Structure 1
Amino acid sequence: MKKSNLWTKDFVMVALINFMTYLVYYLLMIIMADYAMDSLGASPSQAGGAVGIFIVGALVARIVTGSVVEKIGYKRMLFIGLAIYFISSFLYYQMNNLVFLYLVRFLHGIGFGATSVVTGTVVAQIIPMERRGEGIGYYSLSTTMASAIGPMLGMFLVRHLSFYSIISLSILLLVFGVLGAFILRVPKVTYTPATQSKSSFSVHSFLEKNAIPISLIGALLGFGYSSIVSFLTSYTKELDLVSAGSFFFIAYSIAILLSRPIAGRWLDTKGENFVMYPAFISFMIGLFLMGGAHNGFMLLLSAVFIGAGFGTFLSSGQTIAIKAAPDHRVGLATSTFLAIVDAGVGIGPSILGALVPIIGYRGVYLSMAGLALFAVGLYFIYNKKILNTDFETSIDV
């Protein structure tokens, strides 16, 4: 039987918008902690907070966006998210203290969170049902490319340009995202109050409960991943491996580029466990290698394992969350997964930043490898209780 068409113009366009959205996120994420410490006199914990507060803003936006996106409409919500993301970028030019930095990062995170929920929801509607795992795997490569180019570009530009020049580049990149939104055609959505929670203030109006278990597991992995995006620059300086560190996200992304399309097809044909357990183990090995790195080769090898593990989990975990939800709550399932994973990434930098003076960067990464092992156990319990049930069974909310 002939496969349904996956590579449509709108699929490519929503992936490009997502790429620009995440490119700005990663470009600024990798330089923000160093900027806060060097220019604003922040401590490692406070600098980590400057990274994490962005994710908190994204978390808030994702929870709210997932509950209203069908009511407002995909296209209108996409423009709202991009407008907040774009306009708040200009506030960086006025930044002169840590409190104002936190405020700007929070607002910027709101724009990012709202935009990424809409793109993730739209792509789930565009992809043919029978190719959902494969399609989300390919779509997620737009995030992967951003996670490679953004940090590498940030680490290069910060040595040659001022912070404010980098902000100007970020604004220009978002202009392309806005232009893409005008071109994108999104599926029409019919809002029917009957499909919504009976109480507008119910938790289920903001979270899809069937997606929560896999999302909480993702939050643990996100907590571990936050140690990388927050402190990679400082860690490589400490090890005198700055040159190798500048290629870290290249190796990370190559691993995802090679593994995600295969993992997506296996998820559709061989089931969740065939993909998820190796992903957990790969992430754990990567963090262990990173904590013990003494040379550039070992650092880049850790990037390969981390990319294959965490990158595979993100796309596969999102697919599992979507499968677990009723059709009319796909947007809410998407926002629930992204928001809870973001919560882990958001709270990580401040907590781990406080641990750095006590156990050092190496101790942090080795501890996160232990946390990944704990997440494997939780997934085993989740698998026994949830994955053996029929995803098609509707749960009243």
Structure 2
Amino acid sequence: MSKHRNKIWTKDFVHISLTQFIVFIGFYTLLTTLPLYVMNELGGSEAEGDLVVTIMLFAAIIMRPLSGSILDKFGKRKTLLWSTGLFTGTMFFYFLLDSFTGLLILRFIHGLSFGVLTTVASAIAADVVPNERKGAGLGYFAMATNIAMVVGPFLGLSFIQFVSYEVLFIFISLIALIGVFCAIQVNVPQEVYKLNERKKENFSIHDLLEIKALPIAAISLFVGLAYSSILSYVSVFANSNGLSHVASYFFVVFAFVMILARPSLGQLFDVKGPKYVIIPSLIVFSLGLVLLGFSNSVWMFLVAAGIIGLGSGSLLPSFQTMCIQAGGPGRSGHATATFYIFWDIGIATGSYVLGVIVAKYNFQVLYIACAALLLIVLGLFMVQQSRSGKKVSLEQQVTVENM
């Protein structure tokens, strides 16, 4: 019985992970091909190509604070079904549009459902994973996103070499339907619903955010900013250094190393605690960025990819797990939303701020600056852990005295 309760790979966990995987395949396929579609098919500029990416993230950020209350009001299963349905339904409109304005409006609408969907999927994953295996479970769940980050761009960039953009849009829309089917198979434990059933007389900040998760979420913003240097600029960096022919392999190596390391790091999180994963991960990530900045050969570029995959791969699920644990029972939706608000802001802000650094200096300065930022994050995290430890000790002392 105990073994069954500690099981991660249940039917519900597998289906919610598959839902996440398929959603992010669509997300990353569009992320890499829509800017090209805008420039090549709609006659737009590079700035307009970037805008169709940014506006979806902006819409998702708007929806994050509302997501927790939506989950409380409608329940996680219903929210998962309608947000997955809306996300998939929106996909079928891409091949019908032939104007930049129409595409921009569609991307904004798509971002609204994406913001709710990714929040509820992560919250459900946290609910169906045993408490004592949260680090490992959410680490495995995050792998769905990391693998999609490789599959999506590869799929999109390969397709447009042989077929039209319209055919690509139809194809990924049909794939998204599989995500709807997987979402239908997911059941949220009944006791989780009961924990979320709470009546409130007045609207408060707690309806939007999980206050207890704010310190960790705020720290994760800076990690997201550094991480955006990989998402947004690796391919441009490779092109400027004569490495464009191996640019696609960067994320393959990144994902491969991350998949190898994730199980042991997730277990380490659960057994020893977050600092034993996050502190070395930040240091390794920082070293990987420095090596990337100085990369002028294929082997340096790919070794940097592996080091970055090892260092950054466990940071997102680790910070998310800490936010959920800080929120406590019944607050997984709000804690997840709080985490993603700050993470998304870090990614979106990084894309712009780091672009300014590249334009004024060069990629080497960009990656060294991001490495330095991670060392600052390391200091902030250690301060947070120290204060958190003192708070726990004080609470335990008060409890003993009251006894």
What TM-score results when the alignment is normalised by the length of structure 2? Answer: 0.89
Distance 2:394 2:138 in 1: 19
Report if the CA contact (8 A) 2:95-2:170 is conserved.
Answer: no
Q: What is residue 16 of structure 1 aligned with on the other side?
A: 18
For residues 136-157 of structure 1, the C-alpha deviation after alignment (integer angstroms, 9 at most, x for no partner) is 1222222222122223323333
Q: What is residue 65 of structure 1 aligned with on the other side?
A: 67
**Match runs of 1:1-397 below 5 Å:** 2-3=2-3, 4-39=6-41, 40-43=43-46, 46-96=48-98, 98-188=100-190, 189-190=193-194, 191-194=196-199, 199-200=202-203, 202-390=204-392
Report if the CA contact (8 A) 1:252-1:303 is conserved.
Answer: yes
Report if the CA contact (8 A) 1:133-1:265 is conserved.
Answer: yes
Q: Classify 1:184/1:386 alpha carbon distance in 2 versus 1 (closer, same or farther; 3 Å).
A: same
What TM-score results when the alignment is normalised by the length of structure 1? Answer: 0.90
For residues 276-313 of structure 1, the C-alpha deviation after alignment (integer angstroms, 9 at most, x for no partner) is 11111122122222222212222222221222222211
Q: Alignment identity in percent?
A: 31
Report if the CA contact (8 A) 2:221-2:345 is conserved.
Answer: yes
Q: CA deviation at 1:225?
A: 1.7
Q: Give secondary structure in 2 for the equivalent of 1:6.
A: coil
Q: Give secondary structure in 1 for the equivalent of 2:314.
A: helix
Report if the CA contact (8 A) 1:290-1:365 is conserved.
Answer: yes
- Flag structure 2 segments of 5+ consecutive residues without an equivalent: 397-403
Q: Which has the higher Rg, Structure 1 or Structure 2?
A: 2
Q: Which amino acid aligns with 1:192?
A: E
Q: CA deviation at 1:19?
A: 0.8
Report if the CA contact (8 A) 2:39-2:49 is conserved.
Answer: yes
For residues 161-197 of structure 1, the C-alpha deviation after alignment (integer angstroms, 9 at most, x for no partner) is 3333322222112100011122222223135334x5x
Q: CA deviation at 1:6?
A: 2.1
Q: Which amino acid aligns with 1:340?
A: F
Report if the CA contact (8 A) 2:55-2:107 is conserved.
Answer: yes
Deviates more, 1:90-99 or 1:171-180: 90-99
Q: Which amino acid aligns with 2:323?
A: A
Q: What is residue 400 of structure 2 aligned with on the other side?
A: none
Q: Classify 1:392/1:52 alpha carbon distance in 2 versus 1 (closer, same or farther; 3 Å).
A: farther
Deviates more, 1:181-190 or 1:347-356: 347-356
Distance 1:392 1:85 in 2: 46
Deviates more, 1:274-283 or 1:379-388: 379-388
Distance 2:394 2:211 in 1: 15
Distance 1:376 1:293 in 2: 24
Tell me how many residue pairs correspond in the alignment: 390
